[in-house]
Amino acid sequence: MTKTHKGPELLGRKAALPASPDEAELDLVANPHPSETYLVRFVAPEFTSLCPVTGQPDFAHIVIDYAPAEWLVESKSLKLYLSSYRNHGAFHEDCTLRIAKDLVAALAPRWLRIGGYWYPRGGIPIDVFWQTGAPPQGLWLPDQGVPSYRGRG
C-alpha cells in the first residue's frame, strides 16, 4: 500500500524520486466541490517500467480518469508515484491495475478507470483497461483519446 498524506507534503519542496512504488507517497488535498459530479483526468504519455523477466524497459501511455469524492490527488505526488515504476519490474497488467488500486485505496473516489496503452514488445502491443464499476449518472465521460496502435505505416 502506498503511503498517503492528507495535505500537500511534497508540493513546494524538493522531493527525490522514489526507488519503487512501495516507497512512493501520494498527497491528497480536499476536494473543493465534493457535492459535484465531475471528471479529473491525468495523462502520462511517457510511463516506463521494467519487464520482470528480461529487465528491458517497457513504455506506456497511461490515462487515469476519476470522479472525486472527498479527496483529490496532488499532481506532483502523482508524477513522482508514476515515475517510481521506472526501475520496477512488473508485467503490464500488474502495473496498470496496481496504479488504479493504489489510487482507489488512497482517494476512495466515486468512480475511477485507467487505460494502460503499452507499446509493442515482441511485436504485440498490450492495452489494459480497468474501472471500479459503472460511472456515476450524469458524469461527462470523454473518450480517452488514445488510438489503437498502428505502427509506423
Q: How many CB atoms within 10 Å of residue 116? A: 24
Active site residue 58: yes
Sheet containing 71-73: give its strands across: 3-6, 25-30, 71-73
* Active-site position among 58, 65, 95, 102: 58
The rounded distance, in Å, linking the Cα atoms of 48 and 17 is: 14
Answer yes or no: is 77 a known binding residue. Answer: no
Spatial distance between the Cα atoms of 120 and 105, rounded to a whole number of angstroms: 30
Cβ–Cβ < 8 Å for 29, 76:
no
93 is in an annotated binding site: yes
88 annotated ligand binder: no
Quick check: is 51 catalytic? yes
Considering the candidates 22, 27, 51, 95, report the single residue annotated as catalytic.
51
Catalytic residue numbers read 51, 58
Annotated binding site: 73-75, 92-93
Annotated binding site for substrate: 73-75, 92-93
